[in-house]
Chain A
Amino acid sequence: MLYQIVRKEILENLMSLRFTLSLVLTVSLFAASSFVFVDDHRDQLQQYWQKTNQNLSGFREQSAQLYKLAFYDYDIYRQPKLLALCAGGFEESLPGHFTFDAFSTNLPQLAGQSNFTLPRFTNLDWVFIVSLIFSFIAFVLAYDSICGEREKGTLRLILAGSTPRATVLLGKYLGLMLTLGIPLLLGLLVSLIIVIASKVDVVSPALWIRILGIVALSFLYISIFVFLGLFISARTTRSSISMASLLLVWVVLIILIPSLGRLISDRLQRSPTPEEFGRAKAEASRRVEDDMSAGKFGERAGTQTPNPKECNPPARARYANAEADAENRVIEDHHNKMITQAVVGRNLTCISPAVIYQRTSEAIAGVGINHCVNIYQQIKQYQVQLKEYIRDRDREDPDSLHLLFDDENSVAEWNAISKRPVSFDSVPKFQEQDLALGQSLKLAIWDIGLLALFNLVFFTASFVSFLRYDVR
């Protein structure tokens, strides 16, 4: 019986105008977005490798003198990801350019030429299409599935037989999911074919797993809206009322709540303004200067003369390092506050499945704000590694003072760090690491749970409502 209901539902849906419209709309969106993506991705990859190689060759030149490695201004760009096809994570508007040397990291900046005059840059990625268009289509297909049949009088006929209500509901659910699966899978297929045929990047097996994960997630997400549609349809007696209610729910969940993130985070967790940040930085360096005047770092810590005998190099090194540390702390604190603001805004808008779905797909695809934070942390680790390496090599040079501190002139003049050449191959280089699949899943697991919970809640609601539904 279940099979028959599902079959009837699918066939009926397939012949409806709304299905045709949805199919045309979504498949053309998928195709268009993939063409755009292929073009963009090719350019981005080319630029990324060009810049990365430029940076590396600059770094190679520094290996002629060991101390210079520490003072090289590293330029790191965020690696463009193939999975941005699935979830772009607004990366084009997020900072993607990181500059640092062995001592300090600057605040990340926007990379290259992003047009700031354009309205908030939305990628037309899979997540965009699924979260906005498919949720809408799910409602448009589901709004009259129960009350519409009541209006036509066919619902009584079905239930007059021995078919239990649970089977009818399940049949309708499966019918709707399968109907929605057609445009979704077709669209994804078209999208993947375009990307693979363009040979813009290699899809490794690990990526396939992630892609499958995102597809599964999309079904989980769409299912919420199907249950919600069934629920509202089973709560109302007339399909026009059901439609109006569902549209309101859609607007609130998909448009309004996600757009409140900025407002809420600005009110609750505003990060310091650039002026405040500047003041904090000045304050921190003034405090270290006071410490210096008080003699905390040793005598003559402030003096810098070309001749190391005239001043106190260890004290100077302590002072310079304390200053760099203080500044780093302020920068890192500021960076953390900015991240917190964004994260708080997002967490508080998590009542909307669209936000959860966006966040989870970003986590699985390894893009978005987590990607930026991750690079920042990797840079911090790399700095430690680089300093460690320089110290190790420096120990081999008896002429050097073995003082590594953030003042290039003094280090050079005093021979505080060895000036001997090193082999570039042994120097650790920065290479962006993708999060492992396990870690990505760890980031996503709570959100997947939330999506499942949404499903469960709306399933129960629709089940109970349908059991109590007056079919007359």
Chain B
Amino acid sequence: MIWKIAKKEFLLNLMTFKFAVGAVACIVLTAVFMPILAADYQQRLGTYNRNVGDNETELRNVKVYRSITHTIYRPPAVLSAFSAGMEKQMVGNAKIELDKVPELSVTQRKGNPYLPIFAVFDESLIFKIIISILALLVAYDVISGEREQGTLKLMLSGATARHQVLLGKIMAGLVTLCVPVAITFVIGLVILISFPMVALSGSDWVRIGLMFVASIAFTLIMYQLGLLFSCLTRRSAISMVLGLFVWIIFAIVIPNASVQLATQIRPLESEEKRDGRMLSLKNDLARELGDIKVDFSSSLITSDEGDVFGGYYAKRRDIYWLHAEQKLNSLDIPVKLRYADKFWELEHSNLNSFFGQRTLANRLSRISPISIYENVIAILAGTDLTSFQDFINQVKIHRNEVVGYIRSRTDNFSSASFFAVCTEEESAEYTKLYLQKEKAGDEQAKARAEQALKEWELENPVKAVSLNLQDFPWFKYRPTLAGDLEKAIPDLVMLAIANVVLFAASFVAFLRYDVR
């Protein structure tokens, strides 16, 4: 019997105007905008590839270990077409530096700052808005409409149990709404993979599968919500008005109000306080660096040359200067490294207050199933905030590896190769010849010494060779599927619970429904 009811209901639904309009709107929108979204992804991927390529070529030309200050870029998420999330807000790159630990806050505030006037468009918007309204429209008159037509009496006068009717209606709604959801997903995916630069991996397909499940669960929630109102009211016009008002509260009011509320409940620490602490830490660092006294007084000559990433390397040094600089580096780089961690702690605690607001806003907005759904899709697409955090954490690990690498290569930053391309022997020889020239008694001796120095310089040209980066710890960003799934589970469970609760509520309401 359930099956029959479901079939009848499904066929009826398929022929309605609202279904036709909703389904066509979804299909047209996906067909028109998915290519734009995919092209946009391609463009971002192109920029990313170019940046990474430029960066690597430059890194391969690095002459001294000190200049290893490359930038790590976050690859754009291929599924960002489904949910843009924070992808457009955050730039997603971080510079590797000895005296700074990368933190998420360094990855923003770049790019065009005038673009926040726009909301973002992605595939999930179609589900969030159009399919959710469609679900409400399909559901609002299932019970109250049948009562108005008088068919509900007829149906229940037979042996059919009320729960069978309700289950049949829910099944019909589910199947009906599955049609546009499935078509939208298929069209979207076909367009997406038809782009040459888009490559979906196995884990991406798992993500897409889960997105589909979440979309169905979400649509069912909206359908059951409509059903509940239909079971609670006697006139379908009223159930529709109720449904629409609840929808606008869920879709528009709650997501925006929760952000406002969160910023009110948990205000950020004042900027002065934070800047003050930052400043005192900076002063501490300056003092400690000032305490390091290295004697440069006997040093004679220096000559530098520009290196990659805007750095420079020492081309020629006399031995005194070389030793003094070696000593200076071995003393002050460890201090800088230590302070980098301290700065990071400070920045991190500041960032945590941001996250606190964000988490609170997310929690508050979870009253609305639309927000829950939005959140799940962003997590699954790998574009939510935590995926950026994850990226930064990986960059942090990479930075530590790079620091360790440089440390091991330069004997705790004390070797000359940290900043110079000349070796100690060369410098010693150079110094000797130079001093001979300087201390020469008469003109003849001076000319001879100068000649010797010139000859030596010709024999020993500056060996500006690039470093051998064979065992360099190259960075590879690995978005973790398991981690993302773990984060998505609470929201998925909430979607399921909401379904069960709504079902129970509409079940009770329908059992008590006056069919006359």
The proximity string for B residues 97-112 relative to A, scoring 1 for CB distances below 8 Å and 0 otherwise, is: 0000000010011111
- Binary interface profile of A, 39-59, with partner B (CB < 8 Å = 1, else 0)? 100000001000000000000
Q: A110-B109, A255-B129 are in contact. Are A120 and B37 (CB under 8 A)?
A: no
* A residues near B47, Cβ cutoff 8 Å: 273
Chain B residue with Cβ nearest A368:
B117
Known: A36-B264, A116-B108, A240-B18. A262 touches B113 (CB 8 A): no
Pairwise interchain contact A255-B117, C-beta atoms closer than 8 A: no
Stretch among A299-307, A338-346, A428-436 lining the B interface = A338-346
Contact A94 B117 (CB under 8 A): yes
**CA–CA, A122 to B154, complex, Å?**
51
Task: Give B65-105 as 1s and 0s: 1 = Cβ < 8 Å from A's Cβ atoms.
Answer: 00000000000000000000010111100000000000001
Contact B119 A120, beta carbon cutoff 8 Å: yes
Contact check, B121 vs A274: say whether CB atoms are below 8 A apart. no
Q: Flag the segment in B191-199, B250-258, B327-335, B405-413 that touches A.
A: B250-258
- Whether B248 sits at the interface, judged by CB under 8 Å, is yes
In the complex, which of the residues A47, A239, A262 contacts B120, with contact meaning CB atoms closer than 8 Å?
A: A262
Does the CB pair B257–A273 fall under 8 Å? no
Contacting pair B113 A263 (CB below 8 A)? no
The reply to whether B25 and A248 form a contact with Cβ atoms under 8 Å apart is: yes
A109 at the interface (CB under 8 A from B): yes
Closest Cβ of chain B to A164, distance in Å, is: 29
Does B224 touch A at the CB level, under 8 Å? Answer: no
Chain A, interface size category, equals 35 or more
Q: Are A136 and B248 in contact (CB under 8 A)?
A: yes
Closest chain B residue, CB of each to CB of A270: B43
- Residues 146-166 of chain A: 1 if any B CB is under 8 Å from the residue's CB, otherwise 0? 000000000000000000000
- Whether A117 pairs with B259 at a CB distance below 8 angstroms is no
Cα-based distance from A40 to B37 in the complex (angstroms):
36
Q: Residue B446 at the A interface, CB < 8 A?
A: no
Known: A116-B354, A122-B256, A266-B40. A251 touches B116 (CB 8 A): no
Residues of the B chain whose Cβ atoms lie less than 8 Å from the Cβ of A368:
117
Secondary structure dominating the interface of A: helix
* Contact indicator A133/B21 (Cβ below 8 Å): no
Chain B: CB-nearest residue to A271: B112
Give 1 or 0 for each of B263-274: 1 = CB within 8 Å of chain A CB: 110001111001
> A115 in the interface, Cβ–Cβ < 8 Å?
yes
**B89 to chain A: which residues have CB within 8 Å?**
116, 120
Contact indicator per residue, chain A 251-266, by CB within 8 Å of chain B (1) or not (0)? 1100110111111011
Check if B121 sits within 8 Å of A251, measured CB to CB. no
Q: Which residue of B lies closest to A111 (CB)?
A: B271
Does B385 touch A at the CB level, under 8 Å? yes
Residues of B228-253 contacting chain A, CB below 8 A? 237-238, 240-242, 244-245, 248-249, 252-253
* B109, A109: Cβ atoms closer than 8 Å: yes
A32 at the interface (CB under 8 A from B): yes
If A21-B245, A262-B118 touch, whether A117 touches B271 (CB-CB below 8 Å) is: no
The answer to whether B116 and A117 touch across the interface, beta carbons within 8 angstroms, is no
0/1 string, A230-268, CB within 8 A of B gives 1: 000000000111011101100110011011111101110
Q: Is B39 an interface residue (CB 8 A)?
A: yes
- A3 close to chain B: CB less than 8 A: no
B349 within 8 Å of A by Cβ? no
Given contacts A21-B241, A133-B248, contact A341 B114 (CB under 8 A): yes
Given A244-B21, A267-B39, A118–B357 Cβ distance below 8 Å?
yes
Give the residue of B29, B109, B255, B274 whose beta carbon is less than 8 angstroms from that of A116: B109
Decide yes or no whether A275 CB sits under 8 A from chain B: yes
A262/B271 in contact, CB under 8 A:
no
CA distance A70 to B119 in the complex (A): 41
**Choice from A32, A90, A275 contacting B257 with Cβ under 8 Å:** A32
Centre residue among A36, A110, A244, A258 by max chain B CB count within 10 A: A244
Q: Is the CB of B121 within 8 A of A259?
A: yes
Contacts of B125 in A (CB 8 A): 255-256, 259
Complex interface: chain B residues within 8 A of A259 (CB): 118-121, 125
In-complex Cβ contact of A244 among B17, B91, B111 (8 A): B17
A140 at the interface (CB under 8 A from B): yes
Q: Are B129 and A342 in contact (CB under 8 A)?
A: no
Measured between beta carbons, the chain A residues less than 8 angstroms from B253 are 25, 29, 133
Contact residues of A between 256 and 296, Cβ < 8 Å to B: 256, 258-263, 265-267, 270-271, 273-275
Q: Indicate if B355 sits at the interface (CB-CB under 8 A).
A: yes
Check B121–A260 contact: CB distance below 8 A: yes
| B120 adjacent to A120 (CB under 8 Å) | yes
Q: Is the CB of B249 within 8 A of A25?
A: yes
Residues of chain B with a CB closer than 8 A to A89's CB: 117
B500 to chain A, nearest CB (A): 27
B480 within 8 A of A: no
Interface membership of A469, Cβ < 8 A: no
Q: Does B312 contact A (CB under 8 A)?
A: no
Contact A120 B240 (CB under 8 A): no
Q: Contacts A36-B260, A115-B358: A267 and B36 contacting too (C-beta < 8 A)?
A: yes
Partner of A121, one of B240, B259, B385: B259
Task: State the CA gap A107–B111 with chains docked (Å).
Answer: 11
Q: Give min CB distance, A236 to chain B, whole Å.
A: 9
* Residues of the A chain whose Cβ atoms lie less than 8 Å from the Cβ of B17: 240-241, 244
Question: What's the least CB distance linking B120 to chain A, in Å?
Answer: 6
Q: Is A18 an interface residue (CB 8 A)?
A: yes
Quick check: B116 and A124 within 8 Å, CB to CB?
no
Tell me the A133-188 residues at the B interface (CB within 8 Å): 133, 136, 140, 144
Q: Verify if B130 is at the interface (C-beta below 8 Å from A).
A: yes
Interface residue? B482 (CB, 8 A): no
Given the complex, which residues of B lie within 8 Å of A265, measured CB to CB? 115, 118
Instruction: Let me know if B361 is at the binding interface, CB within 8 A.
Output: yes
Q: Is the CB of A94 within 8 A of B114?
A: yes
B51 at the interface (CB under 8 A from A): yes
Once A132-B252, A267-B40 are accepted as A-B contacts, the answer to whether A342 and B357 lie under 8 Å apart by CB is no
Q: Does A108 contact B (CB under 8 A)?
A: yes
Do residues B113 and A117 form an inter-chain contact, with CB atoms below 8 A? no
Is B112 touching A90 in the complex (CB atoms < 8 A)? no
Measured in the bound complex, the distance between the Cα atoms of B118 and A120 in whole Å is 8
Known A112-B271, A113-B268, A115-B354; judge A263-B33 contact (CB<8 A): yes
The reply to whether A120 and B116 form a contact with Cβ atoms under 8 Å apart is yes
Closest to A114 in B: B268
- Shortest distance in angstroms between A151's beta carbon and chain B's nearest beta carbon? 10
B354 touches A273 (CB 8 A): no
A298 located at the interface, meaning its Cβ lies under 8 Å from any Cβ of chain B in the complex: no
Q: Does A382 contact B (CB under 8 A)?
A: no
Residues in B with CB closer than 8 Å to A252 are 25
B282 to chain A, nearest CB (A): 17
Minimum distance in angstroms from A78 CB to a CB of chain B? 12
Select one of A245, A262, A266, A267 contacting B21, CB under 8 A. A245
Once A121-B259, A244-B18 are accepted as A-B contacts, the answer to whether A346 and B117 lie under 8 Å apart by CB is yes
CB of A209 to closest CB in B, whole Å: 25
Q: Does B170 contact A (CB under 8 A)?
A: no
* Contact assessment for B257 and A117 in the assembled complex, using a CB-CB cutoff below 8 Å: no
How many angstroms between the C-alpha atoms of A215 and B365 in the bound complex?
A: 30
- Judge if A95 is at the interface, Cβ distance under 8 Å: yes
A438 at the interface (CB under 8 A from B): no
**Contact B88–A124 (Cβ < 8 Å):** no
The answer for the CA separation of A92 and B264 in the assembled complex, in Å, is 14
Q: Does A17 contact B (CB under 8 A)?
A: yes
Contacting pair A369 B117 (CB below 8 A): yes
Q: A244-B137, A255-B125, A265-B115 are in contact. List 20 more A-B contacts (CB 8 A).
A: A25-B245, A25-B248, A25-B249, A36-B264, A94-B113, A94-B116, A116-B89, A116-B109, A119-B255, A132-B252, A133-B253, A136-B248, A244-B18, A248-B130, A251-B25, A251-B129, A256-B125, A273-B111, A339-B114, A368-B117
Q: List 18 A-B contacts (CB under 8 A).
A: A25-B245, A89-B117, A93-B116, A113-B269, A117-B355, A120-B116, A121-B259, A136-B248, A243-B240, A248-B22, A252-B25, A255-B129, A260-B33, A260-B121, A265-B118, A338-B113, A342-B114, A369-B114
The 4 A-B pairs at the shortest CB distance, nearest first, are namely A93-B116, A244-B18, A262-B118, A342-B114
